[in-house]
Amino acid sequence: MTRVLLASVANRFILSDFAAPGTEFTPARLRIELLSGLTVALALVPEAVAFAFVAGVHPLVGLYAAFLVGLVTAVLGGRPGMISGATGALAVVMVSLVAQHGVEYLFATVVLMGILQVIAGVMRWGKFIRLVPHPVMLGFVNGLAIVIGLAQLTQFKVPGSVEVSGHGTTGGEWLSGGPLVTMLGLVALTMAVIWVMPRITKVIPAPLAGIGIVAAVVIGFGLDVPRVGDMASIEGGFPSFHIPMVPLNWETFEIILPYAVILAAIGLIESLLTLNLVGDITGQRGGASRECVAQGLANLVTGFFGGMGGCAMIGQSMINVKSGGRTRLAGIIAALFLLSFILVGSSVIEQIPLAALVGVMFMVVIGTFAWNSFKILSRVPLTDAAVIILVTVVTVKYDLAIAVVVGVIVSALAYAWNNATRIHAKTYTTPEGAKVYQVQGPLFFGSTDGFTELFDTGKDPQRVIVDFADSRVVDQSALQAIEAVASKYEAAGKRIQLRHLSRDCHRLLAKAGHLVVEQDDDPDYGVAVDYSVRTGILGGH
């Protein structure tokens, strides 16, 4: 009984950080994580090689990054089940750096990128990802799904057409005739297996079954189709420690800093958005700052071991969670399998047809794209619909980070405008002859003009009360607007009172020296009286 109790306690303690909520670590779970990790590793190989080509570096630089970043983030990251590695979003930024200064400057940039990400995590800046609105998330998911799909189209080119170049992927003719038909047929077969397999058995992850069956068909019938080995050889040794060979001076820092900042920002944005997406599927919350630190440490290590750096990969993360991966073990196993491919299994992995991996990624695209967004577009406010479309288009056309920033800015401006139009006031006259303005709506920079237009200084009686019970004073612009209104009444020789300021608004005004409190009229509000006389800050006094 004691053994069972201790085992139960240990199981809960380990899984509290090692796995998604509700996951029990059993032999069946171990099998699922093992097979899921293998599936992810197979999908990582062509992606890492392709992104290395895009960045203009040797394929092993991309593979080492996929291994190291994937391993470190799997162990230390903020969300069990997430997969990280070399990504296209970072590769397109790296290409100009490599072309102008060489790969050693890239390694130095990745190190600095990691340091910046660690700082962001320590400062707990990851929490700001909560400011990303849901329409931006939908646009991000849809845009990234399209990007993943478009990236697979390069596999339909004649083998050997992709070269390492300072300008990334170059040249190449599209497949045609029989080879194209065969490629499309194998892609369709892979997708069909992935769709049917869960209805037959869940013992083997559907993507792994698709890859295995199509590979067996190609090898068994000796079909002449593009394979992983046609992209580049993945054979290599264990990554070795390597200090970037760059001058340690201010000039070097000036060169790598802009790239490091951009790469750090893009990496964190993509990682944190993927964190939220995986969390929605696995029922997890939090971990944003921890993910920032993990990504930073991973890139810091990668830069010293000859890798191109990386971040979270939404495609591979979706493969993992859809295959049943719910613990950190799947990510660790994926990284270790990838290393074994490089060290001893390159000859086998290079025989895998690219069509099988393309089929897997197409199913990821179908599963990732938020198809319900087409219905949502007609039901949500026009601004939200525009943000979804805008973020999707910018993600595909330019860059994920730019798309998210643009989406957040547009959403914030729309929110500010909506709140700016909400400011209004109800008025009535007290038995003593004072006119009361009951202000409703937030008072901030966007609504100050509307606020000042509420008052009729010339026609109002000698005593005016401004009641903020249904309003909130938000910023300095609001303070200035209140002061401007009070100045007008003072100039007209009239008395104004501020009533029912909330505690936070009251502190804001008091800190600025804009009021003196005479009394508390209830536990939650403060009253400012004789504003124009007691403050002594109006009318030049």
pLDDT at 159: 63
Give 256's DSSP letter. H
* pLDDT tens figures, 350-384: 999 999 989 988 998 898 888 988 988 888 889 99
- Name the residue among 541, 504, 534 with its Cα closest to residue 518: 534
pLDDT per residue as tens digits for the range 20-59: 666 677 888 899 999 999 999 998 988 888 888 888 899 9
Phi then psi for residue 498, to 5 deg, are -105, 130
Spans of all domains in the chain? 27-152+175-377, 421-534
- In three-state form (DSSP H/G/I as H, E/B as E, the rest C), the secondary structure along 101-142 is HCHHHHHHHHHHHHHHHHHHHHCCHHHHHHHCCHHHHHHHHH
Q: What is the pLDDT of residues 490-535, one digit of tens each?
A: 888 888 888 877 666 666 666 655 454 444 443 343 334 444 434 4
- What's the pLDDT score for residue 528? 43
Which has more confidence, 66 or 534?
Answer: 66
Q: Is pLDDT at 226 greater than 70 in this prediction? A: yes
d(CA 414, CA 135): 12
pTM: 0.75
Residue 207 tokens, joined: 């993507």
Q: Residue 538 has what pLDDT?
A: 35
Residue 204 — pLDDT band, cuts 50, 70, 90? confident
Question: 164 pLDDT band (50/70/90 cuts)?
Answer: very low
Torsion angle defined by CA atoms of residues 14, 17, 21 and 24, in that order, rounded to the nearest 10 degrees: -20
CB atoms within 10 A of CB 338: 29
Q: What is the mean pLDDT of residues 477-490?
A: 85
The 517-522 sheet, strands edge to edge: 424-429, 435-443, 463-473, 495-502, 525-528, 517-522
Confidence of residue 2 (pLDDT cuts 50, 70, 90): very low
CA distances from 246 to 241, 445, 478 (A): 15, 48, 52
Residue-wise pLDDT tens digits, 86-135: 988 888 889 889 999 999 999 999 999 999 999 999 999 888 888 888 89
The reported pLDDT for the residue numbered 167 is 35
Phi first, then psi: give them for residue 473, nearest 5 degrees.
Answer: -90, 120
pLDDT score for 479 = 81
Task: Collect all residues with Cβ–Cβ distance below 8 Å to 228 and sequence separation of at least 6.
Answer: 45, 46, 49, 234, 349, 350, 351, 352, 354, 357
pLDDT at 506: 64
pLDDT at 100: 93
Q: Measured between alpha carbons, how far is residue 507 from residues 89, 228, 266, 384, 438 in Å? A: 45, 65, 38, 35, 20
pLDDT of residue 322 exceeding 90 = no
pLDDT (0 to 100) of residue 13 = 38
* Secondary-structure class of domain 421-534 per CATH: alpha beta
CB 443 within 8 A of CB 474: yes
Residue predicted with more confidence, 116 or 472: 116
Write down the mean pLDDT value for the chain.
84
Instruction: Say whether pLDDT at 12 is over 70.
Output: no
pLDDT at 508: 60
- Closest residue by Cα to residue 308 from 236, 357, 259, 254: 259
pLDDT class for 333, splitting at 50, 70, 90? very high
